[in-house]
Amino acid sequence: MASSQLGRPRTPPNRAREIAASDDSDSEGRSSDDSLKDLSALLSGRRPQAMPRDASQLLTTPYAKRHAAHHISLAVGATTTIPRHRFDLKALAKDARRDTALQASSLRAREPVRDQSAPSTPSGGVPFGDLVRGDNGKDVHKFMRAVQRTDPGHHEMRYCFFWPDFEKDPPSRPPPEALKGAWTLLTKGNQRVREQNLVSGVPFNIASSQGAMPESIFLWVLDEIATVKSPVSRAELCNLVAVCPEQIASLFTPALLKTLWERIGAQDVSMDRGAVSVSKVSEDVYKGRDWGPLIAILSLLKDIASALPCETRKYALQSLLRMAMDRIIISNLDIGNQFEYTIKVLIDTIPAEDWDSFCHDTCAILLSNFSSQCIRINTLLCLPTSSPRAHDMRRRLAVTFLFQDASLARRVPEEVITLQAVIDRLDRPDFRVGPGTEFAELRAAIVMLDMAVDDGSVLAWPHADAEDQFNASVDELAARLSDIWRRINDAGMKLARTEAKSVVEWVQKRVTHTVRTRRKRAKSVFDLPGQERQQKRDLPRQQEFMKNFFKKNMPAPGPTAKQELKSEPQLGPQPEAKPKAEPALKQESRSKAESEEVSEQEEIVMESIVVRGG
């Protein structure tokens, strides 16, 4: 049986037959592979057709892969449809404006509930409501009030030399003399023609040949300087006035200068004693104003200063010093520069014999006009220090304002004040730091004190120890200023306190390092009280000791050539010279004196070492 099975040939299996239930199938007998794509179709698929190249780029190098994709995307993007945004930007902007208007209306509706004394914007006009949006804008007014309280100029009053709302008057009609003859060049034609006539120089030649202009034309030209709009015509008219020195000396009176000030908008130009009104105004009170006429008049006063009458010079200087109380002179660079040039020239024209009386009258007027140190300091800051006369005037004004006494301006400050008087001035209430201190006033007073001290120069030292006393006073003044500096608490948004503290520190350092006659000696832990005086007493003895020391240790000078020739050696033996015997008592006294001298010198050396801390 077994052999028959082994000998029977095996039938090969039918590979086409399928094993039943060998793979999954659905209920309908369909295969699940019908949903898959045939791999042969994927492998034999055709590649996508390349983009046709432009005829202009057939001869160009193909783009790299990283650039080609970007280039194709730009080309394709031009033909594709731009997608629409989900929101319309115009509609969003319109909604934002509507929300802003509603919020502003809500704030206005709640305005009566707030403090009526709190304005909606600070003095500078900056809308802080746009910066602070916390808690839906409910606390914006609190923030604005806090910033307004910390404003350094919030409590400062300001003096306005000119009318804030001044409107320039129309030009005056020319006199009959200007409508005939050669002077018609000043009035004939329009503004451009008159300007060309002035630039040509013909009116100057006429005035120079005749020696002067008619009086009516001279006064009309001065009026035109204050009203003409063209800066070129204004400058040429000033030059035309300057070539008539005789008429300047006879016609340019203080009343005429007062009229010129009024023509450009000055308020009160009468230099009388008494209080002048000040007010609390904004910083841009003169916004948009044309300062060309003012600069032209200042330039004219500088050019004709030597030809002006003496009374006109004094009035011009006093009116300029009052004008400097207005902060416009400091804030406007063009006006400030021209003001400085004019002051330098005018102040040197005051006669020397009238200088002391003029300083006293001017200081008395300005002292009575203003009581706030914040306003007074503006004039001192405008005066130049490069002119000796202007520097002297500034120091006299500072002394007058600091001590509230105009009689101190009759003499030079070196004769009327001392450092001790300045130190005693610091004991007054306006230099005490407390809860009610106006730090803007304190800052101005400290600057005045610095100007009054100046370099601390005195006419002469009355005695030998005066210099030491002066330096001691300087140290005491610096210590008092340091005490004021320590008492000022500038923590937080307290700008006025910070400015005052920085000014006090600056003045204290300047006094320490520039007013002292010599640098302050560094202190050591070995220093003793009264040691400096002991050093001065011992200095002559120490110097004498050092001289003797170097004399003893210097080598003896060698013999000269003549002495060597004279002292030739003799051939024969010479008897030795025997020293004379001295008495024992004399030798003993000499050795005792030498020992005392050596001990005294050693004592001096030790004292010098101890005194110097070595």
9 by DSSP, 3-state: which?
coil
DSSP β-bridge partners for residue 158: 279
pLDDT digits (tens, 9 = 90+) for 255-289: 999 999 999 999 888 888 889 989 888 878 898 89
Higher pLDDT, 95 or 311: 311
Average pLDDT estimate for 528-537: 69
pLDDT at 241: 93
Higher pLDDT, 121 or 183: 183
Query: Quick check: 224 and 236 in contact, CB under 8 A?
Result: no
Is the pLDDT at 28 greater than 70? The verdict is no
Higher pLDDT, 395 or 19: 395
CA distances from 543 to 534, 554, 602, 604, 605 (A): 14, 17, 14, 10, 11
Confidence of residue 305 (pLDDT cuts 50, 70, 90): very high
Q: From CA 368, how far away is CA 275, in angstroms rounded?
A: 6
Query: Quick check: 174 and 293 in contact, CB under 8 A?
Result: no
pLDDT at 189: 81
pLDDT at 353: 94
pLDDT at 270: 86
Going by C-alpha positions, the residue among 193, 197, 189 that lies closest to residue 240 is 197
Number of Cβ atoms within 10 Å of the Cβ of 243: 17
Q: From CA 183, how far away is CA 180, in angstroms rounded?
A: 6
Q: From CA 384, how far away is CA 336, in angstroms rounded?
A: 10
- Cβ-in-10-Å burial (0-12, 13-18, 19+) of 303 comes to middle
Confidence of residue 92 (pLDDT cuts 50, 70, 90): confident
Q: From CA 553, how far away is CA 548, in angstroms rounded?
A: 9
pLDDT at 180: 83
Task: Tell me how far the alpha carbon of residue 440 is from its chain's centroid.
Answer: 17
Q: From CA 116, how far away is CA 588, in angstroms rounded?
A: 106
Quick one: DSSP state of residue 21? T
Q: Which ranges constitute the DSSP H helices of 404-523?
A: 413-416, 419-425, 439-453, 466-487, 495-510
Is the pLDDT at 31 greater than 90? The verdict is no
> At CA 575, angle to CA 569 and CA 580, rounded to 5?
120
Instruction: Give residue for tokens 């307004």.
Output: 148
Lowest mean pLDDT among 97-111, 360-374, 520-534, 569-583: 569-583
- Does the CA dihedral 412-418-423-424 come out positive or negative? negative
pLDDT at 97: 87
Q: From CA 346, how far away is CA 340, in angstroms rounded?
A: 10
Q: From CA 584, how far away is CA 191, in angstroms rounded?
A: 120
Q: From CA 314, how far away is CA 336, in angstroms rounded?
A: 20
Query: Percent of the chain, pLDDT > 70?
Result: 64
Lowest mean pLDDT among 61-70, 205-214, 336-345, 492-501: 61-70
Contacts of 249 (CB under 8 A, 6+ apart): 307, 308, 309
- Does the CA dihedral 556-560-563-569 come out positive or negative? positive
Element (H, E) at 360: helix 355-369
- Cβ-in-10-Å burial (0-12, 13-18, 19+) of 523 comes to exposed
- Stated length of the chain: 614
Q: Which amino acid is at 490?
A: D
Exposure pattern of 44-76 as b/e (b: 16+ CB <10 Å)? eeeeeeeeeeeeeeeeeeeeeeeeeeeeeeeee
Written as one string, the DSSP assignment of 442-456 is HHHHHHHHHHHHTT-
Q: 0.85 cut: is pTM over it? A: no
Confidence of residue 95 (pLDDT cuts 50, 70, 90): confident
For the chain, the average pLDDT equals 77
Higher pLDDT, 185 or 462: 185
* 8-22, 82-96, 447-461, range with greatest mean pLDDT: 447-461
Q: From CA 366, how far away is CA 372, in angstroms rounded?
A: 11
Lowest mean pLDDT among 112-121, 149-158, 180-189: 112-121
Average pLDDT estimate for 458-476: 77
Structure tokens at 20: 């039943």
pLDDT at 141: 52
Q: From CA 234, how far away is CA 256, in angstroms rounded?
A: 18
Helix axes 292-303, 333-347, angle to 10 degrees: 20
Structure tokens at 220: 């009309």
Structure tokens at 143: 């923030």
- Cβ-in-10-Å burial (0-12, 13-18, 19+) of 193 comes to exposed
Confidence of residue 112 (pLDDT cuts 50, 70, 90): very low
Confidence of residue 152 (pLDDT cuts 50, 70, 90): very low
Average pLDDT estimate for 313-341: 95
For the chain, the helix, strand and coil percentages under 3-state DSSP, each to the nearest 5: 60, 0, 40
Average pLDDT estimate for 10-19: 59
pLDDT at 470: 86
Query: Quick check: 297 and 305 in contact, CB under 8 A?
Result: no
Query: Quick check: 390 and 340 in contact, CB under 8 A?
Result: no
pLDDT digits (tens, 9 = 90+) for 538-558: 788 888 888 888 877 766 665
Higher pLDDT, 429 or 566: 429
Q: Which ranges constitute the DSSP H helices of 228-354?
A: 231-242, 245-251, 254-263, 292-303, 310-323, 328-331, 333-347
pLDDT at 550: 82
